[in-house]
Structure 1
Amino acid sequence: MRSQGTDRYFCAAHSLINGVKQNLRELFLPVGYPEGLHTCYQKFHLWLGVETFLGSMISVLCSQAMLGSLGLGAAEAAGGAVAIQWVLKDGIGEVGKLFFIKRYASSFDSHPKTWKIVGEGMSSVGSFLQLCTCVVSVNLFLPLAAVGNMLESIHRSVWFASHMTFTKHFSPHGNIGDIVAKDDAQTSTAQLLGMLSGVSLLTLSHSQLFLFGCFSVLAPIHLWSTTSMLKAAKFENLNQANLILLGQSFVDNGKVMDYEQLHQSESLGYGGEWIQQNHKHVNIKMGLSADKAYQSANEIRSAIGIFKNETYLLNYRENTVNILFHNDAQVNDVIKAVLHAIKFYDALITSKQDTWKTLDQTLHWTTSNCQPFLESLKAHQWQCDNVYWNDGGIRLTWDRQITCSS
């Protein structure tokens, strides 16, 4: 009887533990984890949890510094001055964020890692400015707090945009909604733990020296966790830098490198989103208007005559190959246009021939080699369903001669 009771006890405990593990898995992990997600998902999100935890702690310290600088409980607080300044700092910060988004939002998809680290740097500067409110005159609270809040608002916008790009790469089977929801659960938990830890620190001391001391320790670790997280993100996506280097490799030797070969070639800069300055390559701009790419209507007519069967136009102007797209252009057309731009630039620089003649000759080469290039990209596990480029976004319409391919 005693043995049976012990067995029932262990069985119940085992069942309880399994139930808790299953519930935690359903709360924090997407369906299909880990097999159905990208291989870097786990490492990336572990670092994300550390980063969020530390960021939440820093936020608590900044809130304490700003509240202390306004002197809660003083006579002006009763008159509503605190509330007014608090609202103004948020409002001014949001307005500043709008100007930043207008200027740089088009590159968030093409350079998410770069903007993520820039955003974290802005957030650290913003937090420092907010901390400084506790050691300066109360008259400086609003400008310091407003600028600090603006930088943190920009950071949040950048993270929201870049996170959506990361999420698309994590989800080869399209369960983006599930991944986003589980990311939110993970983030909320890390934020709560960070808040509790930050409040625990404040129970030790509220002094200005203590706040700055904690910040000086937490901020570098926070940035280090961000860089570690981005290093863990290894996506076989066709961003601006990757596609140019892959296309150049194919034009030069007819081969496409895989992810590891490309990133070991020392041609890429930070995050794999920039080409090293000492690496010679073609400068390409996409999605321009016709008046920026061409100098006259005759040039446009000449280009359309050459590209009458295509969904893109090319032109070389001011050391840049400009690509203009038709409204019907698809992802494969973008890849073809970039491959053509690379071949065209190489031929133009090497042969010194007439631009229009070179365009025509290289178009024939591109038409013959585009399909092998696409097949080689897929064979090396590159994701060809999208191209992440800082595109001007303009699409044009012209009469095309559509041909049927066998």
Structure 2
Amino acid sequence: MPPIDSRFRQLGTVLMAAACADAVMTTSLIMTLVVMATAVRSRGMAWRRSLPPMPPASLGPLVAIEEQGRRRRLFYYSTAAVTAAPLHALPDPQRRHRRAGPLQAVLESLLPEGYFDRSRGTPPVSDDYLPFTILHFVQNVVHAAASVIATQSMLYAVGLSQRATVGISGAVQWVLKDGLGRIGAIVFGSVLGNRYDADPKRWRMRGDVLYTFGVGTEMITRLCPQYFLLVGTIANTIKSVSYMMRLPTAAAIRRNFSLRENFGDLSAKANAQEVLSMLVGTFAGIGLSYVLGSSVRGMFAFYGLYASLFVWFNYWSLRVLQIRTLNLQRCLIAMRHYWDSGGEEVLSVAAANRAESVLIPSRWAAARRVRFGCRLADAFPTRPALEQAIRRQREWRHDWYCGQQPPSQLSPSAQPEDRYLLATRPDTGTVYLVLHRDAGVLDEVRALMHASYLVRRNWGALPDLSPKRVREAYMAACTHTPLLLQALRSRGWNVDEFVHSGGLGCRSIWGRDLWDADGDRKHRESAEASPGTPVHPELSPPPSTERGLEGPMHAPPAQGDTAAEAEAQTLLPLGVAAMPEMPPMPEVVDLL
């Protein structure tokens, strides 16, 4: 009876031969279809060339031109007709020589429809599609070759671990490690949620780096065959998690390429490119497996080369990618450049993507000193700090609004409320942005404009965060935010949505909106049992009465008011009169 090693070497050879045969059959099928398509097209061209040309005398004026792919036909009236003049279609003689060869047919099957047809106004994909696709194709080839070597190593490991058992035990362990690995991927995917759309570049990079560790762990099984199930499960979990990180980003990247709502065509061609690259990589891996043989040193030397090439091609494919959607890092990069240029220059999509960091997270790069979407307690540790921020920002809003409108058009009900609050830490040079529950794209962009005006650099000297500077930044943000959005749109940016990346994602409710929050009835009813304590003015419901804008911003307290009532009166928002005493209410509702 031959030894175990030789039997599993034979098994590996059989599996590789089967994979090679499958690859050959797939390649033959693809080439057959290509040849058939080329033959049919050539036959049609020959049939059209065999048609007798219409006499020039019978041709009337040119009526229309029809285009279908690279085909083009010219429609003429016939002057020889007695009653009704029929249409005659002739192939365009200028396009007869543009017959597609086998290579052209293969490229058309791998690239989006209309990629080679530049006669139409809007191209099917953006300019960064081709360099990204080429680099990603080579990356998949390297990946497929490494998968063959890793599978060979695991076959050796499962064979060496089953010297005294039947063969079915090895199959059970193989299935178990796949199942346990997928369970780990499901848990990981439920934790991440929808963070992929915010920053597909960084998640793609993380997923590919993690995948290289998974392949390396598979190769390690050969060194410890007695722990095949444990090590194999860890390797499969790492690879499954990497798939969970990589596959969702592919949809975001393809959506960025699409310019004609041809997302389905891009997905189909991406699958065809992946199949072809995996096919080429499998052939290369089979050849490498015969060269390396059973050498452990050769296997790990190949792993070092594979990891370097895989990560390198992935990095440069992401560097050429130009995403037009605003996220936290790209938004801060564009805004700081806008402020540094005095509001005269806006970064293009390509320039902002080149400045974006693919490796370093946003919190350590562009958003190092900006805490976007932070918790309310982190920004305002005390109640007076929160009260002062609300009062101060409303006063600034009133001053800016009065400066933009003529006195005859001023109305307290027309003033929009800010959907964010800003806090500063001068000792660390950090700006905290608290977002309201109902904050939209304009509110988020204005908040970042406010913060980016204050914090221009991520490192170096601490910025000036004095109250005067913060007020100046607020006025500039209110004025320049619409101008910046308009300029960004003209440079090709998608400013209709803002995807979060690097922020904490917290939303809060404050002020008069607390009366609309869930659970306020419970707080209101429970507070009725202890009347007599004045409620904080920012938590009071909006009254039905209004007062004009003439005079000072806040009306002076009436004679006989107590000091507490006078302070509450000054904290009231613009256009809200004093309210009678009410039971205490909660300061804030944090939607976490």
Q: Specify the alignment match of 1:293 in structure 2.
A: 379
Q: AA paired with 1:88?
A: L
Matched, 1:314 2:422: yes
The 5-angstrom pairing of residues 158-177 of structure 1 reads 158-177=245-264
Is the contact made by 2:161 and 2:225 (CA closer than 8 Å) also made in structure 1?
A: no
Q: How far did 1:39 drift?
A: 0.3
Is the contact made by 1:58 and 1:219 (CA closer than 8 Å) also made in structure 2?
A: no
Gaps of 5+ in 1: 1-7
Q: 2:435 aligns with which of 295, 301, 325?
A: 325
Distance 1:369 1:77, change over 3 A: same
The DSSP-based 3-state class of the residue aligned with 1:316 is: strand
Q: 1:138 aligns with which of 197, 209, 225?
A: 225
Distance 1:9 1:66, change over 3 A: closer
Q: AA paired with 2:275?
A: S
Is the contact made by 2:326 and 2:498 (CA closer than 8 Å) also made in structure 1?
A: yes
CA distance in 1, matches of 2:197, 2:227: 37
CA distance in 1, matches of 2:40, 2:268: 36
CA distance in 2, matches of 1:78, 1:282: 58
The DSSP-based 3-state class of the residue aligned with 2:495 is: strand
Higher normalized helix content (fraction of residues): 1
Q: Which moved more, 1:381-390 or 1:23-32?
A: 23-32
Q: 2:320 aligns with which of 232, 249, 252?
A: 232
Aligned residue pairs total 387
Distance 1:214 1:326, change over 3 A: same
Q: AA paired with 1:366?
A: A
Is the contact made by 1:282 and 1:342 (CA closer than 8 Å) also made in structure 2?
A: no
Q: Deviations over 1:29-76 (max 9, x none)?
A: 334536121101011111111111221121121111101111189565
TM-score by structure 2 length? 0.56
Is the contact made by 1:55 and 1:222 (CA closer than 8 Å) also made in structure 2?
A: yes
Is the contact made by 1:268 and 1:275 (CA closer than 8 Å) also made in structure 2?
A: no
The DSSP-based 3-state class of the residue aligned with 1:172 is: coil
Q: Specify the alignment match of 2:203 in structure 1.
A: 115
Q: 1:199 aligns with which of 282, 286, 299?
A: 286
RMSD: 3.9
Is the contact made by 1:312 and 1:323 (CA closer than 8 Å) also made in structure 2?
A: yes
Q: How far did 1:84 drift?
A: 3.4
Query: Radius of gyration: which is bigger?
Result: 2
CA distance in 2, matches of 1:118, 1:238: 20
Q: AA paired with 1:118?
A: R
The DSSP-based 3-state class of the residue aligned with 2:505 is: coil
Identity, in percent, stands at: 23
The DSSP-based 3-state class of the residue aligned with 1:53 is: helix
CA distance in 1, matches of 2:40, 2:124: 36
Matched, 1:254 2:285: no
The 5-angstrom pairing of residues 4-403 of structure 1 reads 11-12=42-43, 18=100, 27-33=109-115, 35-71=123-159, 78=166, 80-97=168-185, 108-134=196-222, 136-202=223-289, 206-209=293-296, 211-252=299-340, 253-255=342-344, 256-259=346-349, 269-270=357-358, 283-305=369-391, 306=393, 309-317=417-425, 319-345=429-455, 353-354=466-467, 359-388=470-499, 389-398=501-510, 399=512
Q: Deviations over 1:210-249 (max 9, x none)?
A: 5445444444333332223223213344333322122122
Q: AA paired with 2:490?
A: A
CA distance in 2, matches of 1:98, 1:330: 32
The DSSP-based 3-state class of the residue aligned with 2:434 is: strand
The DSSP-based 3-state class of the residue aligned with 1:235 is: coil
Q: Which moved more, 1:17-26 or 1:303-312?
A: 17-26
Is the contact made by 1:30 and 1:179 (CA closer than 8 Å) also made in structure 2?
A: yes
Q: Which moved more, 1:325-334 or 1:62-71?
A: 325-334
Distance 1:365 1:269, change over 3 A: same
Is the contact made by 1:230 and 1:271 (CA closer than 8 Å) also made in structure 2?
A: no
Is the contact made by 1:288 and 1:324 (CA closer than 8 Å) also made in structure 2?
A: yes
Q: AA paired with 2:270?
A: D
CA distance in 2, matches of 1:301, 1:9: 78
Distance 1:153 1:378, change over 3 A: same
CA distance in 1, matches of 2:338, 2:497: 19
Q: How far did 1:133 drift?
A: 1.7
Is the contact made by 1:133 and 1:144 (CA closer than 8 Å) also made in structure 2?
A: yes
Is the contact made by 2:441 and 2:496 (CA closer than 8 Å) also made in structure 1?
A: yes
Is the contact made by 1:44 and 1:229 (CA closer than 8 Å) also made in structure 2?
A: yes
Q: Deviations over 1:349-371 (max 9, x none)?
A: 766534xx655553332211111
